[in-house]
Structure formats: C-alpha cells, structure tokens
Structure 1
Amino acid sequence: MTAADISRIAITVGTVQLFCDLLAYWRIYSKDPYERAVDALSRAKWKRDKASEESVQLEKEGSGGAAASSNKKASKSDRQAKKLQRAEDDYGNAKANVARRHTLPGFFTSFLFIVMLRILGLEYKGNIVGVLPFAPFSVLSRVTSRSLVFTTSQFESDDEKVTDVSQACAFMFIYFLCTMSVKYYISHFFGTQPPHGAEGLMAIAQSPMGQKILRSAGIDPDELKMD
C-alpha cells in the first residue's frame, strides 16, 4: 500500500504547514503591530533611497565649481553623509523589526516538523514506503533506501517493473520529497512572506542593534556579511 502511505505522508506534511501558516497569520501577521512594522519598513526604505539619491546628486555637483567654495561643499557633504548613515541605520532597524516577527513562527513550524518527523519515522521505521520506477545508482540508493534492511539476497516481485531491491524507498526519502514540494507550495500560497530584505536572521544580525550584540559577544559582524 505504498500509494496510500505516500498520500498520507504528503497530506500530513501539507496539513501541518497549512496549520502553521494560518496560525501565524491569525496571531501575528493580521495584527496592527505587524502592519505598522511593514509600513515603517516601507517609509525607511523610501527615506534611505531618497538620501542615497541626494548623495549621488551632491557628488555630481561637487565635481565642478570654484575651489573657494570647497570648504562649504565639504561641510555639506559631511552633513549629507551623516543623513545617509542615519537613513541606513533606520532602514536596518526596520528590517530587523519585521524579520523578528517572522522568527517565532519559523521556529514554531520547524519544531512541529521535527516532532512530526520523529513520530512518522518511528511508525514507518524499516518499512518500504515507495518504489522507484528504476534501479538507482549505488550512491543514490544509499539515500532512497536508508534504514531499510533486507534479510535475503533473493528478490521476487509480482510487478515486472520492479526488478531490483534497490528500487525500494524508505520513509526519509519520501518525507524529504514531500517537504521540498508539498510544504513549499503550501507555504508559498498560504503563508505570509517577509518583505524583500527582511528575510531570515541575517536581517537581524546586520541591523545596528544586532551588530552591537555581535560585537559584545566577540563576533565581527563584517565576517557574516555575504557578498
């Protein structure tokens, strides 16, 4: 009954992911604090972009002109640089604020999937859950049939398409495929995705407050930056 087993695993994965997405939306993403955080991020991004454009324009204007006004231009350039830095800091803090609100639902979802993996893994331990339509290479077979133990070297099958014992699939391989497909699409269509730039813990770590915490822990924030 491999088809029924695969369907059960896929439905379980999809149901748990859907439950987590709807719960997160109900408890966090539909509330005013999250909406205000997203609005603050949009405003901070607009101010950062505006300050960046003003800095570029100031550099173009400063490339020409008389030398007598160089001190005045330098002072104006310093003020603009400080303004841009403040805008960058505000934008970083706004991104961290939004990313922080996505962190708890992410941890909660991961915890539930670990529990589900443990429960289903014990239930299907040592059982054949699926059958591949081909005999895989030995390296791939170690992944697909992991935790399966065959006590005999002889192989018999009523299905002419099943010609090798290596075609058997264990639970872990089927579970992996379900998380890469069913879980992804359920989260994509029903989950609330963070705004661009506010994804993951790196948005928190790269914020001014996050960098202060990292430095206090003896970690150089520049080493965590991704090119």
Structure 2
Amino acid sequence: MTAADISRIAITVGTVQLFCDLLAYWRIYSKDPYERAVDALSRAKWKRDKASEESVQLEKEGSGGAAASSNKKASKSDRQAKKLQRAEDDYGNAKANVARRHTLPGFFTSFLFIVMLRILGLEYKGNIVGVLPFAPFSVLSRVTSRSLAFTTSQFESDDEKVTDVSQACAFMFIYFLCTMSVKYYISHFFGTQPPHGAEGLMAIAQSPMGQKILRSAGIDPDELKMD
C-alpha cells in the first residue's frame, strides 16, 4: 500500500505546516505589534533610501570652488554621512525587530517537524514506502533505500516497470520530497513571509544591537558577513 503510505505522509506534512502557519498568524502576524513593526520597517527603508539619494546627489555636486566653499561642502558632507549612518542603523534595527518576530514561529515549526520525523520514522522503519519507476544510480539508491534491509528474493512486485530492488524507497526519501513540495507550497500560500531583508537570524545579527551582542560575546560581526 505504498500509495496510501505516501498520501498519509504528504497529508501529515501539509497538516502540520498549515497548523503552524495559522497558529503563527493568529498569535503573532495578525496582531498590532507586528503590523507596527512592519510599518516601522517601511518608514526606515524610505528614510534610508532618501538619505542615500541625498548623499549621491551631494557627491555629484563636485568639489571645485574656493577654499571656503570647499569647507562648507566638507561640513555638509560630514553631516550627510552621519545622517545616512543613522538611517542605516534605524533600518537595521527595524529589520531585526521584524525578523525577531518570525524567529519563534520558525523554531516552533522546526520542533514539530523534528517530533513528527521521529514518530513517522519509527513507524515506517525498515518498510518500503514508495517505488521508483526507474532504477536509480548507485549513489542515489543509497539515499532512497536508506534503512531498508532485505534481499532480492524478498522484493517482489507485479509491476513490469519494477525490476530492481534499488527502486524501493524508504520513508526518509519520501518525507524529504514531501517537505520540499507539500510543505513549501502550504507555507507559500498560507504562511506569512517576512519582508525583504528581514529574513532569518542574519538580519538580527547584522543590526547595530545584534553586533553589540556579538562583540560582547567575543565574536567579530565582520566575519559573519557574506561577500
């Protein structure tokens, strides 16, 4: 009954993901604090972009003229640089604030999937859950048939396309496919995705407050930056 087993695993994965998405929306994403955090992020991004445009415009004005004029431009350039840095810091903190509100639901979802993986893994341990319509390469078969232990004589099928014992799939491979497909689409359609730039723990680590925490822990924030 591989079809029934695959359907059961896919439905279980989709149900758990849907439950996590709806619970996170009900408890966090539909609340005023989250909406205010997203609005603050939008305002901070607008201010950062405006300050950046002003800095570029100031640089285009050139550095020619008298010494007094040059001093004024240098002073104005310094003020603009400080303004841009403040805008960057505010934007970083706003991103971290939004990312932090996505962190807890992400950990909770990961925990439930670990529990579900453990339960289903024990239930289907050593059982054939699916059958591939082709004989995979030896490297791939090590993944698809992992945890299966049987001889060729113990593998029988009425399907003419199934002729090789390596076509048998264990639970882990089917579960992996379900998380890459069912889980992804459920999260895409029903989940609340973070705004651009506020994804993951890196948004928190790259914020001014996050960098202070990293430095206090003896970690150089520049080492965590991606090229």
Bin of the TM-score, shorter chain as denominator length: over 0.9
2:31 paired residue number:
31
Distance 1:147 1:83 in 2: 60
List gaps (5 residues or longer) in structure 1: none
Could you say if the C-alpha distance between residues 28 and 155 of structure 1 is closer, same or farther in structure 2, counting changes exceeding 3 Å? closer
Aligned length: 227
Distance apart, 1:67 and its partner CA: 3.2
Per-residue Cα deviation, 1:160-189 (whole angstroms, up to 9, x for no partner) = 111000000000000000000000000000
Distance apart, 1:202 and its partner CA: 0.2
Distance apart, 1:158 and its partner CA: 2.0
1:224 paired residue number:
224
Could you say if the C-alpha distance between residues 212 and 162 of structure 1 is closer, same or farther in structure 2, counting changes exceeding 3 Å? same
Distance apart, 1:70 and its partner CA: 1.1
Sequence identity (%): 100
Distance 1:141 1:127 in 2: 15
Distance apart, 1:35 and its partner CA: 0.1
Distance apart, 1:221 and its partner CA: 0.5
The yes-or-no answer on 1:139 pairing with 2:122 is no
Per-residue Cα deviation, 1:198-225 (whole angstroms, up to 9, x for no partner) = 0000000000000001111111101111
SS at match of 1:153: helix
Task: Tell whether the 8 Å contact from 1:93 to 1:209 is kept in structure 2 after alignment.
Answer: yes
Distance 1:154 1:115 in 2: 31
Distance 1:122 1:173 in 2: 14
Distance apart, 1:153 and its partner CA: 5.1
Distance apart, 1:69 and its partner CA: 1.2
Distance apart, 1:39 and its partner CA: 0.2
Task: Tell whether the 8 Å contact from 2:136 to 2:166 is kept in structure 1 after alignment.
Answer: yes
SS at match of 1:87: helix
Task: Tell whether the 8 Å contact from 1:205 to 1:221 is kept in structure 2 after alignment.
Answer: yes
Per-residue Cα deviation, 1:107-142 (whole angstroms, up to 9, x for no partner) = 000000000000000000000000000011110000
Task: Tell whether the 8 Å contact from 1:99 to 1:200 is kept in structure 2 after alignment.
Answer: yes
Distance 2:133 2:168 in 1: 9
Task: Tell whether the 8 Å contact from 2:63 to 2:70 is kept in structure 1 after alignment.
Answer: no
Task: Tell whether the 8 Å contact from 1:62 to 1:73 is kept in structure 2 after alignment.
Answer: no
Taking structure 2 as the reference length, the TM-score comes to: 0.97
Q: CA RMSD in A?
A: 1.1
Distance 1:155 1:185 in 2: 34
2:82 paired residue number:
82
Taking structure 1 as the reference length, the TM-score comes to: 0.97
Task: Tell whether the 8 Å contact from 2:64 to 2:70 is kept in structure 1 after alignment.
Answer: no
Distance apart, 1:66 and its partner CA: 2.9
Task: Tell whether the 8 Å contact from 1:92 to 1:208 is kept in structure 2 after alignment.
Answer: yes
Per-residue Cα deviation, 1:14-60 (whole angstroms, up to 9, x for no partner) = 00000000000000000000000000000000000000011111111
Distance 2:156 2:88 in 1: 67
Distance apart, 1:155 and its partner CA: 4.8
Task: Tell whether the 8 Å contact from 1:55 to 1:80 is kept in structure 2 after alignment.
Answer: yes
